[in-house]
Amino acid sequence: RTSWSADVSLDDPSTGTRLMPVEDDALLIGVAGRMSSSLLRLGDNSACEHGGERGRVHVKRKVLNRLPHDWTGYAGLDLLVLYDPDWNRLTVHQSRAIADWVTNGGRLLIVLGTRPLPASGRIAELVPFRPGPLRQIKIPASALSAWGFGRAVANAGAEVSCWPLDGAAKAGWAADGGKSSFFAYGPVAFGKVAVLGFDPYLLVRRTGGPAAPGRPYLGAQPARSASELARFWTAQLRHVLGPRQIRHEPGGGGGDPDYAYYGGFELGR
C-alpha cells in the first residue's frame, strides 16, 4: 500500500527553468567547482550502458556553495565530480555529507587543477595517500593515443602541470602514468574514489602559462572542441562508475544546451 506520495512540478520556481527528468537507463553526473565545458558537454559524445540497454548521459553543474549538506542529497547521482574546487568554500557539513555518501556506496572523482588536495578534513580522509607537489610531467604517448589524440600529438607527447599521485600504488589503489602517476582510483568502504592529478584542459589549450595554486589559466584558448576530450573523459570515468557505465559515442544525444543554467541536480531516481 502507498505510505507516502507527493506531486512534484517539473518547473523550478527559483529559476523559471523546466527540470529534466532522468530516465532509469540514464547516467546522471553532477559537477561542482570550476567550469569545464568539455565535461559538461560530455553527453553529446557518450552514452550510458547498463544491462545491455543504451541510455543518455546527463551532466549537470551545481554551484559549490549550494551543494547538499546531507548525504541523501547526492543519492540520485551516479557520480559526483569535484573539479578543481575552492576547498575553503566547502563547509564542514558539505564535506561530511559527501564523505558519508561515498562510504555508503557513492562514486566521487576529484580533479586537481590549481589547488592541491586539503591536508585534512573528511574528503581528504577518503584518499589514503598524499599527492606530491605540483610539477611538470609528460603524458605517455600510449595514453594520448588511447584518448583519441592523433599520431602527431601522441608522438610529440604532452607536458602538463600535475600533482603526482605516486603514493597511490603503495596505498593499494590502481594508478596510471608509470613513474609519475597522474590518475588513481580505489574502493572506499562501499563506494569508490578516483583522483586526477591534472586539469585535462591543459591537453587542449594553445597558450597560457603553467598552472599555479590559485591562479587561473590566463589567455588559454581551447585548441580542440569538447568532443575531442570526450574519449579522455569516458576512459577515466569508467574506472570509478558503478553498474551504470559510460562509453564513447559521438552524437550520443545526452547534451543539454542550457547546462550552465541549472541550479541543482535533477534527482530522477
Q: Is the pLDDT at 253 greater than 50, yes or no?
A: yes
pLDDT score, position 212? 42
pLDDT score, position 261? 34
pLDDT score, position 229? 86
pLDDT score, position 71? 95
Q: Which of 38-52, 105-119, 244-258 has the lowest mean pLDDT?
A: 244-258
Please, which pLDDT band fits residue 40 given cuts at 50, 70 and 90? Answer: confident
The mean pLDDT of 257-269, rounded to a whole number, is 39
Please, which pLDDT band fits residue 6 given cuts at 50, 70 and 90? Answer: low
pLDDT score, position 111? 97
pLDDT score, position 122? 96
Task: Answer whether 0.75 is exceeded by the pTM.
Answer: yes
Please, which pLDDT band fits residue 16 given cuts at 50, 70 and 90? Answer: low
Q: Is the pLDDT at 246 greater than 70, yes or no?
A: yes
pLDDT score, position 21? 76
| Domains of the chain: residue spans and CATH | 11-133+163-204+225-261 (3.40.50)
pLDDT score, position 196? 96
User: How confident is the model over 114-161, as pLDDT tens digits?
Assistant: 999 998 999 999 999 999 999 999 888 888 888 877 776 677 778 889
pLDDT score, position 10? 65
Q: Is the pLDDT at 100 greater than 90, yes or no?
A: yes
pLDDT score, position 202? 83
pLDDT score, position 233? 94
Q: Is the pLDDT at 224 greater than 70, yes or no?
A: no
- What mean pLDDT is reported for the chain? 81
pLDDT score, position 140? 84
pLDDT score, position 205? 63
CB burial readout 34-44, b (16+ within 10 A) else e: bebebbbbbbb
Please give, one letter per residue, the 3-state secondary structure of the chain.
CCCCCCCCCCEECCCCEECCCCCCCCEEEEEEECCCHHHHCHHHHEEEEECCEEECEEEEEECHHHCCCCHHHHCCCCEEEEECCCHHHCCHHHHHHHHHHHHCCCEEEEECCCCCCCCCCCCHHHCCCCCCCCEEEEECHHHHHHCCCCHHHHHHCEEEEECCCCCCCCCCCEEECCCCCCEEEEEECCEEEEEECCCHHHHCECCCCCCECCECCCCCCECCCHHHHHHHHHHHHCCCCCCCEEEECCCCCCCCCCHHHCCCCCCCC
Q: Is the pLDDT at 85 greater than 80, yes or no?
A: yes
pLDDT score, position 144? 85
User: How confident is the model over 176-215, as pLDDT tens digits?
Assistant: 866 678 999 999 999 999 999 999 888 876 433 344 444 4
The mean pLDDT of 73-83, rounded to a whole number, is 96
